[in-house]
Structure 1
Amino acid sequence: MKSIGIGCFNFGISKLVSTDIKVSEHVQNIKSSLEKIPSIGEIEIEFDDRFDDLITVPANNIGLKHNLVIPHIEFLRVEFSLHLPTRIQVSVLDESWAYERSGTEDFRVTLVSSFYGPVTFVESVGSAVKNDPSYSVRIVRAFLEAEFKKLEENVTFEYLGPSPFHANLFLTENTEKKGCAMIECEEIHARGYNDIIFKYDPEKFTSEQEIYEYFISEVDGELGLFYEIVRLKNRQNNAWRQISENVQSLKQVELGGLRWWSFLKKYKQLRNQRDIINELYQFKAENEGVRKQVQEWVDDAYSKQLAVYFEDYVRNNEAKFPSYPIDAISEWLRHNEARSIKYIELSIIFISSLFGGVIGSLLTILLQGRE
């Protein structure tokens, strides 16, 4: 039985790279960086050299931490073994029970680039049946993050939550029936993460490696879609957070009250309100477009019913796409805009009257002086 945890890791481009590089160069940089970590061995990296394109180096080292896959290398596969003694597992997570949950000191990490983005499989090699493979993802993630911070290389280690994916996967031989499908799965519900048992027909495969390759090819598309939805949700949340901060700054001005000496502040507020209203309309259009795109992806993925193992997870992820009070805030801003315009109009009338009175008085004094 193989125990497998799922995550979303990627190897990005560090700030040390200042010019655009080819895919093959970045792949070589990944290999060189991994080779400098003593605990890592058996490194195998594959990609389709027909797509050895030029990668545009991103500004400010953006990547998965900004919910973007940069670079997204088509057909990339990075695989390596990782030996982490118990003391290291305990230290990287600062949890004394680390080994008891991982059940092993040896891991096999496989990163594949699906259509939607990277998906990572962490196998707990030789672990006990009752181990926690999702916990192994945490250990591997924390270790790689710490090691890459020490390296001054052209590659960064990045990850996206949830890493681990909220389920434990087990791959085992189907001993109950012959002539079954190549792989079938059964989900066992638990208080924490559910266990998903994948059972394969041993008569349809020639080796354990072939079974594992087939398993990855069966599930990476669904898992890639799951993480792409996560990235889109995070980007939408970040954009909304910025709009919310701008709205809060307007509220602070409102708390100051309507005083005649606030004329310039109110004028600036009016301009800001109009900018935020434009941002809201842009955000609304983008949000509706993203929702529609996600719905189309999900419907397309499950309309063919080819490989359906994580449909509940993907659809729940889609269903939890956040909604935002766009219309309510737009209405408040328009109401506030009308108040600001009225305030400015009254201020102009007041100032005009004030200056008119002053000028009139001066003229009267001057005329009286001539008499």
Structure 2
Amino acid sequence: MSVRTYSLGIACFHFSPKEDIAPSKWGEAIKSGLESVASVRDVEITDLGHFVSRYDPILEWGEEEFRGADSYDFELHPQAGMIAFTVAIQERDQEKLNLFGRRVVSPDETFRVITMYGTSGPATVVQFDGGTDSRLLGAQGVFVVREFLQREFKRAEVEIDFLVVGPSPFHADVSVHEEEGLELAGSPFSVIRERTRGYDIIEVQCPTQATMDLYRDLFAELQFFYECVRERGRNATRAQSVSRMADALVELYRVPGAKGFLKRLWWSRSQARELLIGVIQAKLGEARSTASMQQEFQRLKESMSVTIFDHEVSEEVASDESEQLKAAEEVAKLLEGGAKKEFEIFVLSTSTLLGAAAGAVAAVLAK
């Protein structure tokens, strides 16, 4: 009877050519880049399909500032397919790179890294034999692999970029027990989750014949989770842009004296209106993305046998930037009202002064 127990770390790794490249050459470029790292072997890239890019759509308001600046957005990437490889990391490197406790996580020094692409984007699992502590090492394995690959990519001057979307490692230690002929009542596999103050401990039991079903559901859930993370990152960046506009408007009102008064007189109302427009557009963008994520999440739950990360996905879908946008909106409304009042006082004062001057001229002419 075949039995296998191993640690499973969760992450979101993406590999991208540094130069613009045709979709037909993408897989070849990734494989060549990975194989240029001496510790990487057994590279498999299969079933790539339907390449897309976040650069293709017309950018919404606020996105120009961060496009391509971080891992919220990927350049050309497939919406189907797999990148898998084995990386050998010696024990001394594991101890050096593992900031969780300077310990070896894989005694046989072997890690299998699998990134699956779907319509929501990529997600990654790192498989390795953690020995007697397999149930406690999944996240540490991801951390060691991530740090090792980042270091080796720099050393080898690899012609592809290694991008990571957080949380990577995901905040859970997963172990999988596969057993041929294992019978489970009411489900193709079972999940036991122990909540802890740190990383939750998740133990999965799965008949060997149901392994494909397990990974299909696991990757679908994780791909959607990391897409929600990236979407919330975009929303947060838009909100931060709006907040910077609000800060600039507040600073304008802190300029003292006649110089500050004149600046506010001519510029503050237009800036306040621009800020309000930014708030409205950011709210609309967030509302659209939230509605889309809620709809997709419901569809995903209905299609899966067992959801493992329902809590984490629910939190990510529900997260928003409403407080930050509300504060910026209040600043805009308050200072726009103040600017209007200052302008009215200026007009009234000017009219009074001009009226007095005209009266004085008339008196002189009457003499």
TM-score by shorter chain over 0.5: yes
Q: Deviations over 1:280-308 (max 9, x none)?
A: 11111122222211211222222345342
Equivalent position of 2:195 in the other structure: 189
Structure 1 residue ranges (4+ consecutive) displaced by more than 6 angstroms after TM superposition: 52-61, 362-365
Offset, 1:171: 1.3
Q: Which residue of structure 1 aligns with residue 124 of structure 2? A: 120
Give 1:194 deviation, angstroms.
Answer: 1.7
State how far apart, in whole Å, the 2-side matches of 1:186 and 1:40 are.
33
**Partner deviation per Cα, 1:157-203 (whole Å, 9 max, x = no partner):** 1001100111111111359963654322222333421222121224x
Residue 104 of structure 1, CA deviation: 4.9
Identify unmatched segments of 5+ residues in structure 2.
58-63
In structure 2, the residue matched to 1:221 is: 220
Alignment match of 1:129 (pick from 118, 128, 133):
133
Q: Amino acid of the residue matched to residue 70 of structure 1?
A: E
**Structure-2 separation of matches of 1:258 and 1:336:** 17
CA distance in 2, matches of 1:221, 1:12: 21
Q: In structure 1, how many angstroms separate the alpha carbons of the residues matched to 2:350 and 2:55?
A: 56
Distance 2:71 2:53 in 1: 21
Counterpart check, 1:138 vs 2:143: yes
C-alpha deviation, 1:337, in angstroms: 1.1
**Contact persistence 2:173–2:202 (CA under 8 A):** yes
In structure 2, relative to structure 1, the CA distance for the partners of 1:189 and 1:295 (3 Å cut) is same
TM-score, normalised to structure 1's length? 0.83
| Aligned counterpart, 1:100 | 104
CA contact (8 A) 1:117 1:228 kept: yes
Q: Deviations over 1:23-70 (max 9, x none)?
A: 231211111111111111111111336x47899799999558241233
Which residue in 1 is equivalent to 2:73?
68
- CA distance, structure 2, for counterparts of residue 6 and residue 104 of structure 1: 20
Q: What is the rounded CA distance, in whole Å, between the counterparts of 1:126 and 1:23 in structure 2?
A: 37
Higher mean C-alpha displacement, 284-293 vs 248-257: 248-257
Paired amino acid for 1:146: R
Q: Where in structure 2 are the equivalents of 1:312-323 lying within 5 Å?
A: 312-323=311-322
User: 2:251 — aligned with what?
Assistant: 252
| C-alpha contact (below 8 Å) 1:23/1:54 kept by paired residues | no
CA contact (8 A) 2:80 2:116 kept: yes
CA positional deviation for 1:119 = 0.5
Consecutive unaligned residues of structure 1, counting only runs of 5 or more, are 206-210
Of 201, 204, 211 in structure 2, the residue corresponding to residue 198 of structure 1 is: 204
| Paired residue secondary structure (1:44) | strand
The alpha-carbon deviation at position 98 of structure 1 amounts to 3.1
The percentage of aligned residue pairs carrying the same residue is: 23
Change (3 A) 1:271 1:122: same
Change in CA separation of 1:98 and 1:196 when aligned onto 2, cut-off 3 Å = same
Q: Distance in 2 between matches of 1:282 and 1:305?
A: 35
Equivalent residue for 1:240? 239
Q: SS where residue 342 of structure 1 aligns? A: helix
Aligned partners of 2:55 and 2:341: how far apart in 1?
Answer: 50
Partner of 1:31: 31
